Each structure stands twice: as structure tokens, then as C-alpha cells.
Amino acid sequence: MRSENGVEFLQWALPRLGFRWSGFRKPRGQVLKRIRKRMEELGLAGGYDQYRDYLNENPQEWEHLDRLCYVSISKFLRDRKLWDFIRDELLCELMRADRPGQVAIWSVGCCNGEEPYGIAIMADQLSPNSAEAGNVSILATERNRELLERARRGRYPGGALRELSEQELKTYFRKTEDPEAQYEITGRLRRYIEFEERDIRVSMPARRFDLVFCRNLVFTYFEHKEQTAFLRKLQPRIKPGGCLVIGSNEELPDARRLEQITGTHPVYRTTG
């Protein structure tokens, strides 16, 4: 099965699902691998063209294909300077002792949990005692049930934790006997996080947030129209003066009522 056929197939199928090809160009291998497995399950030996015919004849298959079109790449504390900024400028301000109420944070598309646990590490460094920890709550949502289960388990191979300092490893992880995932998150970080299955195209959390992390998802993989629709639904979910963090290679489709707060990092504050 020639790989350019796979590219052609994705260029045809992705926009029909509201995704844009450019986001999938680099990591297409993992999506195509899932699609080939699906074709095998269906007994389609005729390649992508045959799968295309199958989709045309069986419209319910689009739902299945939609579930295969995701990219599960994430890293702990990738881009350390951004994380230092999040801790020292954003969380520090939000967690000020004289500020009333809980600090509500949302990690949209949390993958294996690297992002919400990373946020929890930053918050814990500011307020390690357990009474203060109760003041920060992180909602981590993910559409893929398997990834969500992995995030809940919180087990990682050593290689995934390369960006962490020795001290961070010692404080927030314990060693396991599992040769494939030698480190496990401790309860100290778990207490900050609530995991929830949610497809953000279908529904949004009811509460409002001080800080939303929507990185390497909507603004990379969704079509422009879907990005705008999502942003419209997201804005009322951010508290006045709250912030949105997007991926470092991403741009907002329409930054009305959102102001980038530093030229260095993709962090936007709501205005008006």
C-alpha cells in the first residue's frame, strides 16, 4: 500500500470530518497505521481506495474513522521557559493567599496526562502544603477513553520524564516494577486533578476557568471554521481576566477579546 495513497486518502477524508490536513502532515504515520488496522478488520484488501468506497457506501463508518483521527503526542514540561512563566507569572498571581475562591484550571485534550500533571507540579511548587493544594483544581478532559485511562493510571517510562529535575522526579514520582513504565505519579499530584471523558466538539464543561490549556489540538488539527466555533464556545468559559494557553506553533483564528500578554509565550488574557 503506497504511502502517497495514504496522504491522498487523508487529504480527502480529513476535511470531511472538520480536520485540516496540514496539522496531520507530520504525525500522519500514527493515523494511517490505525486506518490500515481498521481496513484489515473490515477485510478490505484493496487499500485506501477501497476504504474510500466503503465510506461512501457505509456512511456510519465515518464515525469510526473520526475516532481514529487523533494525534497522541505529548511531553512532560516541554518548553521549560513557558512552564516557568506559567508558574511564576500566572499561577503565582492566581494562587495569591488573599485571592478568594478556588483556582480553576482546564486541560483540554489531556492525552496521557502529561499536561495536567505538569500543571499540578507547577502549582505544587508554589504551595506544597495540603491545605493550599485544595485551593487549585485541574479538570483534565480527553475524548479518547484509552488515553484517559492511561492518564488516570499516571505511569510513564523514564524517557518521558527527561525534562524533569532530579528533585521533581523524587518529589512527584515513585518507582514501579513495570519495565515499560518505571515511574508512577504519587498521590501528592493526583489530588489536584479530576479526569473526565469529553469530546469538546460535542460539549463544554459547565464551570468557568481561570486558566485554560488548549495546546496542540483545536488550533492545529481542526478546520478554521471549527476553530472559530470552538473559540466562541470557549470564551464564556474563561473568567474575566482569565488566560488561555495555546501551543507554541499555533495561532488563534480570531483573537477578539483576547490579548497576548507577552511576546514570548502563546498566552492570552481575556479583555472586556
Ligand X SMILES: C[S@@+](CC[C@H](N)C(=O)[O-])C[C@H]1O[C@@H](n2cnc3c(N)ncnc32)[C@H](O)[C@@H]1O
Rounded Cα–Cα distance for residues 10 and 196 (Å): 29
| 3 state SS of 107 | strand
Among 144, 155, 189, 195, binds ligand X (CB under 6 A): 144
Helices (H), 191-239: 218-221, 224-234
Nearer to ligand X, 74 or 182 (CB): 74
Q: What is the closest distance, in whole angstroms, from the C-beta atom of residue 195 to ligand X in the complex?
A: 12
Nearer to ligand X, 53 or 251 (CB): 251
With contact defined as beta carbons under 8 Å apart, do 261 and 269 qualify? yes
111 binds ligand X (CB under 6 A): yes
Region binding ligand X by CB under 6 A among candidate stretches 28-36, 140-148, 154-162, 255-263: 140-148
Among 31, 32, 71, 94, binds ligand X (CB under 6 A): 71
Region binding ligand X by CB under 6 A among candidate stretches 82-90, 109-117, 127-135, 248-256: 109-117
139 binds ligand X (CB under 6 A): no
With contact defined as beta carbons under 8 Å apart, do 212 and 243 qualify? yes
Region binding ligand X by CB under 6 A among candidate stretches 55-63, 71-79, 131-139, 180-188: 71-79
13 binds ligand X (CB under 6 A): no
Nearer to ligand X, 86 or 127 (CB): 86
74 binds ligand X (CB under 6 A): yes
Tell me, by CB under 6 A, how many residues bind ligand X: 20
| Binding flags for ligand X, 213-252, as an x/- string (CB under 6 A) | --xxx-----------------------------x-----
Nearest alpha-carbon partner for 175 in 185, 167, 165 = 185
Rounded Cα–Cα distance for residues 111 and 54 (Å): 30
Nearer to ligand X, 51 or 70 (CB): 70
Q: Who contacts 13 (Cβ-Cβ below 8 Å, separation ≥6)? A: 52, 55, 65, 69
119 binds ligand X (CB under 6 A): no
End-to-end CA distance of the chain: 53
With contact defined as beta carbons under 8 Å apart, do 213 and 119 qualify? yes
Rounded Cα–Cα distance for residues 265 and 253 (Å): 17
Q: Please, what is the angle between helix 47-57 and helix 28-41, to 10°? A: 70
Contact residues toward ligand X (CB under 6 A) are 70-74, 109, 111, 114-115, 142-144, 147, 199-201, 215-217, 247
